[in-house]
Amino acid sequence: MTDPLTLYLAAPRGFCAGVDRAIRIVEMAIEKWGAPVYVRHEIVHNRFVVDGLRAKGAVFVEELEDCPADRPVIFSAHGVPKAVPAEAARRGMTFVDATCPLVSKVHIEAERHHENGLQMVMIGHAGHPETLGTMGQLPEGEVLLVETVADVAAIAPRDPAKLAFITQTTLSVDDTAGIVAALKARFPAIVGPHKEDICYATTNRQEAVKAIAPKIDALLVIGAPNSSNSRRLVEVGRAAGCGYAQLVQRAPDIDWRALEGARAVGLTAGASAPEVLVNEVIDAFRDRYDVTVERVETAREDVEFKVPRVLRQPA
């Protein structure tokens, strides 16, 4: 007799519109120009997705110099520094920018503030591709990076009265609020974004985790270790009272011993994790337990982003 277990399935979860668009861009580029098509950096942070596109003819590289000039190159959903498309144009390359439109919005915001004579403070994770891409929109020294409330006390802006802040789109809403409060306390004149930089999908997925947290003994987040938004979901679960919250890439990564005695488990997926992996995990639970699936929906998402015009035109 298998033990009963309730799986609380967070909704929204998984693919967001920016990820969906980026994957379609790679697939359409392969259809239009044939293989191989080069992609600078992982198109999205998910090994299953990247491996699937590699099998179709995508070649993933870290830098533009690793790409031949006679094949198309795609820039990842996380965005790239301005120098990258400039270099691609200089080399006469065909390139398609798959930067998420919500990341592009932050890039435009940063440029606008720069034109108005403001120095930028970016709330983000050092070394993350999105942070590198956003900081790379402006000249060296024009963007100061802060990761924590403590960092706010350490920055030395050119003119404390001429500052604006932007954020990485995949951060924890709650953690970022604390950093923003510290910035405003130290720099009362600092200018913020018209609308929150943290994207709708990141916010929605975090809210769904908060909604299931009181009902569950453990939380599993399907996502990659290098996926910022997936790692934030684990942190949000822990902060909301989940004694056990774990990031898993796929069903074989689940630590079943850690789940012994659990009767209610929450399940969500980061914005770059496909639904097929969610179903794989549900099936793995069904192999071991008498499972009841309860869906907890906190928002409806109907956002869709168009692919660039170059891919909608015949070759």
Which residues belong to the active site?
Answer: 130
Return the residue matching tokens 């004694």: 243
| DSSP three-state, residue 35 | coil
How far lies 237's CA from each of 174, 175, 176, 180, in Å? 12, 13, 16, 22
Non-local CB neighbours of 138 within 8 Å, separated by 6+ positions: 110, 111, 114, 120
Residue found by looking up tokens 């769904």 in the block: 208
Dist CA 62 CA 42 (whole Å): 8
Tell me the angle at which helices 47-56 and 17-33 cross, rounded to the nearest 10 degrees.
20
DSSP string, 230-242: HHHHHHHHHHTT-
